[in-house]
Amino acid sequence: MALDTETPLNSLGFAKSPSETRVVVAMSGGVDSSVVAAYLADQGYDVVGVTLQLYDHGAALAKKGACCAGIDIHDARRVAEERGFPHYVLDYENIFKDAVIDEFADSYLAGATPVPCIRCNERVKFKDLLETAKDLEADCMATGHYIQRMMGPNGPELHSAEDANRDQSYFLFSTTPEQLSFLRFPLGHLPSKDATREMAAQYGLAVADKPDSQDICFVPNGNYASVIEKLRPGAAEPGEIVHDDGRVLAQHDGVIHYTIGQRRGLGIGGLSEPLYVVRLDVDKKQVVVGPKELLATRTIPVREINWLGDAPFTSQKEWHVSVKVRSTRPPREAIIRPLTDNTAEVELLTSEEGVSPGQACVFYASEGSRIFGGGWIWRGY
């Protein structure tokens, strides 16, 4: 009787030994991606670390709370040296500016509230960097994102992270099936960030206690408006703060200083009711304010949809799912009504406040952890 000589799958899903499996690790210099690289190297994989120089070329921005800056490149390189695998720094500054920063500025000027981290994953990390990984003859690319890739009956599926507090699915909804087949997320099953830091300590990584990045990497102080003014000089044109009923209440220094749902810092005190930014009219240079109930939305137009369901998006008139319309909010029950292969109208079963163009609308299974993709919220005209 012949022996079964079939090679078992390794932990990354390949029927060969770890030493014969090359994996490119996208290293930001933070604790998450550093742990992924150290863990895979410890498992015996042929690890290649790659860090992207995205902005601030030349002068290192050594500021806590920002990623992808000079000090982070240094930290990533040190992890690679200590763990004994090659590390490359790739200058993606022009790609990043064209694919992420310019759109961020333009959409902000158009009154939207953009999420550049999603575009960075979609257009830089999971596109150009992924192709670079293939050029390096890698079998797969691993990242430190908190999300899970699980094999389903129709191929790899995207699932929320085990730790709901760390889940990054909102920022990864645009991952395509083709990208998902090449990507690996070794941290998605961990119970908490503490578990990641414990692993970092076990591997003796100097970044074990490094603070998490909080801000958008090219907006390290959280001041979006100042960045927009540098990118688009003269963009902060003054205008009027107008009540929804037509009353002019005050003047402002530029629409870019306001976001939908904002209540504080409007400079219009002395009124009997609290007012919120309910609309930004860029053409008229108006910030429109009104009572909180005007923020409530139930119908959301969505475009540029990336669908990760098993059946074609337009194969059903309705999809009953849950959706997130901001990264910090829990999923809400909703009905998706496809209009085309990549546009739809989303109806929330209960209204949501402060739904803003430029944010993502991400689709989740009503039960379980699967993610069905998502799209971008727009005004619908």
28 annotated to a ligand binding site: yes
Instruction: Tell me which residues are annotated as active site.
Output: 120, 217
52 annotated to a ligand binding site: yes
356 annotated to a ligand binding site: no
CA distance linking residue 322 with residue 361, whole number of Å: 10
Three-state DSSP class for residue 142: strand
90 annotated to a ligand binding site: no
Handedness of CA 189, 155, 138, 132 (dihedral sign): negative
261 annotated to a ligand binding site: no
CA distance linking residue 376 with residue 114, whole number of Å: 10
CA distance linking residue 318 with residue 9, whole number of Å: 38
In angstroms, the first-to-last Cα distance of the chain is 69
31 annotated to a ligand binding site: yes
30 annotated to a ligand binding site: yes
144 annotated to a ligand binding site: yes
The count of residues in the chain is: 381
CA distance linking residue 138 with residue 20, whole number of Å: 10
Q: Which residues contact 239 (CB under 8 A, 6 or more apart)?
A: 251, 252, 254, 255, 284, 285, 286, 287
> Which residues are part of a known binding site for ATP?
26-33, 52, 144
> Which residues are part of a known binding site?
26-33, 52, 144
